[in-house]
Structure 1
């Protein structure tokens, strides 16, 4: 969640009546998010806590994360929690930039970059 950037971008694109729920472990960023959304016409909820511990079964139509899984010690477990959090037929969207993408045009003669830098579970996604 942070200060709710994805919500600010996505809420105008979603159907009227949509609700944005942001989860973050930092109260400071959540306070900023609440302040940013305070005067906007969107329904919001901001939860403070560890996303790996919050239980949200069959709650959402869409679960989105940005630059989040790459920080997880077990991204597969977090993906399973995201799957668990969506309603039947729901969608999961993950934007996971990695510094290696900045080097995508670099060439190391005779070397395969994916062999040099293992991305764990993200490598297989």
Structure 2
């Protein structure tokens, strides 16, 4: 549940893109570390739709470990990412799963097709999160669950203090909003759910935390790659749109990430807001 769906209308640009550094980061995600708020509500026979499934690591966990008697469909806009997700499922020998490329604003499923419809770190990247939630609601059965988890960039906290990471956050927020997204989606997801017509909404929050040497090396390394002009869409867009003054600015952002990752006391928290919406 990672990659942004594209609408049929002129929609936003996915801020991260599908660079190898982005897919590497998304492939770290598991059902346990990313959708723990949803897992206790699942039944073994559920049929799940995972919107914006990305490389499919969460999706595969759901199919193999949590709904073994049911089935899971993972949907993403990127054909290349879907191919990788299919490869992952095949390598893990998971048969109750299907990955498809498609438009999350115009799902090709009948009303009430799924017991659970979920997305992870998707609403923050789209220009009509309410419309997307409405479509998720449409294909969810009555009494079923629509679930979403979104991070909140203004809530990111790190140690030690870093002017370079402060600048990175400014650059990211500017690019993301310029692309039509909302980087502080975590605090707003419950409001979007109300606007989509849900009345039974359960809110929660949880965080990722990076503090071990291995975690810091991995987290800082993926972001140092992403902000590079030769890396993900983030750095390229920041340069093209004048959010940074030149390649040197991007190099300084990457340097700030590497310095944080090498600090013996480095610590980084990524909070996310979560909603469980009962489709009444």
1:91 equivalent to 2:145? Answer yes
How many residue pairs get aligned? The number is 113
Partner of 1:31: 83
User: 1:15-69: per-residue Cα shift (whole Å, max 9, x none)?
Assistant: 3322110111111110011111014233111111221122322111111100001
Please list every run of 5 or more consecutive structure 1 residues that lacks an aligned counterpart in the other structure: 104-116
Q: Distance in 2 between matches of 1:14 and 1:21?
A: 14
TM-score, normalised on structure 2? Answer: 0.37
Structure 1 residue corresponding to 2:123, chosen from 69, 83, 86: 69
User: 1:100-119: per-residue Cα shift (whole Å, max 9, x none)?
Assistant: 2215xxxxxxxxxxxxx986
Indicate the SS of the match to 1:62: strand
How much has 1:2 moved relative to structure 2? 0.8
Please list every run of 5 or more consecutive structure 2 residues that lacks an aligned counterpart in the other structure: 1-52, 158-182, 193-280
What's the RMSD between the two structures over aligned residues? Answer: 2.5
Partner of 2:210: none
Higher relative contact order (CA 8 A, sep 6+): 2
Change (3 A) 1:31 1:20: same
Matches within 5 A, 1:41-56: 41-56=94-109
Partner of 1:111: none
User: 1:55-88: per-residue Cα shift (whole Å, max 9, x none)?
Assistant: 3221111111000011111111111111111111
Q: Which segment drifts farther, 51-60 or 82-91? A: 51-60
Partner of 1:122: 189
Work out which of the two has the higher radius of gyration on C-alpha atoms and give 1 or 2: 2
How much has 1:5 moved relative to structure 2? 2.0
1:78 equivalent to 2:126? Answer no
